[in-house]
Amino acid sequence: MLPTSMCNLIDHVSKELHHLERPKLAAMFGECFANTFQTTIGQLEDGSTFVITGDIPAMWLRDSSAQVRTYLLLAGEDPLIADMIEGVVRRQVQYIGLDPYANAFNKEPHGAGHQQDITAMSPWIWERKYEIDSLCYPIQLSYFLWKVTGRTSHFTDEFRAAVLSILQLWRVEQSHETHSPYRFQRLNCPPTDTLTREGLGSAVGYTGMTWSGFRPSDDACTYGYLVPANMFAVVVLGYLGEIADKVWMDCAVSDEALQLAAEIRDGIEAYGTIPHPTLGVMYAYETDGLGGYHLMDDANVPSLLSIPYLGYTEMSDPMYQRTRSFILSEENPYFYQGEVAQGIGSPHTPERYIWPISLAIQGLTASSQEEKLRLLDLLAATDAGTGLMHEGFHVDDPAKFTRPWFSWANAMFSELVLDVCGLSIMRIVRSSC
């Protein structure tokens, strides 16, 4: 049974899409927007909310944030929706308190998941691949919940302790080679599922950026400084500075967050850019601070395509526009063009498979309504008759896809639809600042 507020929003959007003569999009929005609420969310006895990623019965810090993000539009008017999202934040904070290096957790300490990995596992942890964005997303969700509803009840002592552990971890990982306790190895697996040098990862030099073992795809980084993830960290450190200043009245935590953000930003601008022979200076996807650069973009967010979506720069920023031109061209090794579609895929899925998540981000960062609608029409035309979003689909044949439905992708599709209908989450957040 869907909440009344959700049904009302679906009806409103459906009418808007019918005015745009897109009845299939209207039907798909109803399915995709309700999907996460109906299939992945569970209220626990302690009042927290457990969100499975979909076809895996574990909760990813990243995915769970992205899955409920669109429901923030309802949180200001529906206390039950706000409570549900606050419950997600509370559960995430509990998990960060258990282990800030882990990316995915079990509902209970029953030892499911990758317990054979060579790292500091526990029965609570499904997977312990360290990714910067796993810590960024819960901060973003908590900040947006505050801005949309005005509530601060989720900024508890436990939340504050989690924030302090994140700040400490990101400081440690600025000097990964000499200070990091983190190691990760998985045996008998593809190279993208483990780290080299006995779990330490490829060598890096100091840049001011903070190190990441894995990308938001859960694939290993080629070079340890993942530029879009560091950009996300800069943004959420700004959020933490504001929370500490205005909610906790704690100048020390605010100053530390803003100082760390400045150091990471300086590192990005000094080490995360590279001159392209025809486009000019643009952002690299990864670097090691030792002269190594990886020029690509991945479908998963944070990505280079998502830079303005994250809030690091405006869409009109020349550096972003140069980078966008690169990643939406065949120079990006994961940009595919086929008979049916073109867009960004991922080394995480088969070659020539485009991700709906990347198409949604392309739309959310597009400068015109026409481009947004074109991408929505493409998403509607490549659902293989399921009415839901997949993880990826083949550029020549959308009937070939990975995952019959993917909750994160359903949420991203819904967010693009809402944006086209004038219901931008970021606009609401910014208007409250």
123 and 271 in a single domain? The answer is yes
Residue 393 is predicted with a pLDDT of: 98
What is the number of domains present in the chain? 2
CATH code, domain carrying 206: 1.50.10.10
pLDDT digits 0-9 by tens, 310-319: 999 999 999 9
Cα(198)–Cα(252) distance, rounded to whole angstroms? Answer: 37
Is the CA virtual torsion 13, 18, 22, 23 positive or negative? positive
pLDDT class of 427 with cuts at 50, 70, 90: confident
Domain final residue, candidates 281, 301, 331: 331
pLDDT digits 0-9 by tens, 36-92: 999 999 999 999 999 999 989 999 999 999 999 999 999 999 999 999 999 999 999
Q: Which parts of 227-306 fold into alpha helices (H)?
A: 227-246, 251-271
Is residue 48 a part of any domain in this protein? no
Is residue 379 a part of any domain in this protein? yes
Domain final residue, candidates 331, 360, 376: 331
Q: Which parts of 150-185 fold into alpha helices (H)?
A: 157-172, 176-179
352 and 318 in a single domain? The answer is no
311 and 347 in a single domain? The answer is no
305 and 347 in a single domain? The answer is no
pLDDT class of 424 with cuts at 50, 70, 90: confident
- Percent of the chain residues topping a pLDDT of 90: 97
156 and 296 in a single domain? The answer is yes
pLDDT class of 433 with cuts at 50, 70, 90: low
pLDDT digits 0-9 by tens, 319-353: 999 999 999 999 999 999 999 999 999 999 999 99
pLDDT class of 431 with cuts at 50, 70, 90: confident
Is residue 57 a part of any domain in this protein? no
Q: Comparing C-alpha atoms, which of 393, 403, 382 is closest to residue 350?
A: 393
Is residue 52 a part of any domain in this protein? no
Structural domain including 379 reads 1-37+334-433
260 and 272 in a single domain? The answer is yes
282 and 347 in a single domain? The answer is no
Is residue 324 a part of any domain in this protein? yes
pLDDT digits 0-9 by tens, 85-104: 999 999 999 999 999 999 99
Is residue 21 a part of any domain in this protein? yes
- Residue 364 pLDDT > 80: yes
CB hemisphere CA count around 61 (13 angstroms) = 32
pLDDT digits 0-9 by tens, 273-310: 999 999 999 999 999 999 999 999 999 999 999 999 99
Residue 126 is predicted with a pLDDT of: 98
- Residue 142 pLDDT > 80: yes
Hey, what are 359's tokens?
């198409």
Residue 432 is predicted with a pLDDT of: 75
Cα(129)–Cα(259) distance, rounded to whole angstroms? Answer: 27
Is residue 375 a part of any domain in this protein? yes
298 and 320 in a single domain? The answer is yes
Residue 379 is predicted with a pLDDT of: 98
CA dihedral 218, 328, 374, 70 (to 10 degrees): 30
Cα(288)–Cα(237) distance, rounded to whole angstroms? Answer: 22
400 and 283 in a single domain? The answer is no
123 and 270 in a single domain? The answer is yes
Cα(343)–Cα(390) distance, rounded to whole angstroms? Answer: 14
pLDDT digits 0-9 by tens, 199-247: 999 999 999 999 999 999 999 999 999 999 999 999 999 999 999 999 9
Q: Which runs of E-coded beta strand occur in 329-391?
A: 335-337, 342-344, 353-354
Domain final residue, candidates 266, 297, 331: 331
- Residue 11 pLDDT > 90: yes
Is residue 7 a part of any domain in this protein? yes
313 and 354 in a single domain? The answer is no
97 and 212 in a single domain? The answer is yes
Cα(136)–Cα(132) distance, rounded to whole angstroms? Answer: 7
Cis peptide before 398 (omega within 30 of 0): no
2, exposed or middle or buried, with CB in 10 Å at 0-12, 13-18, 19+?
Answer: middle
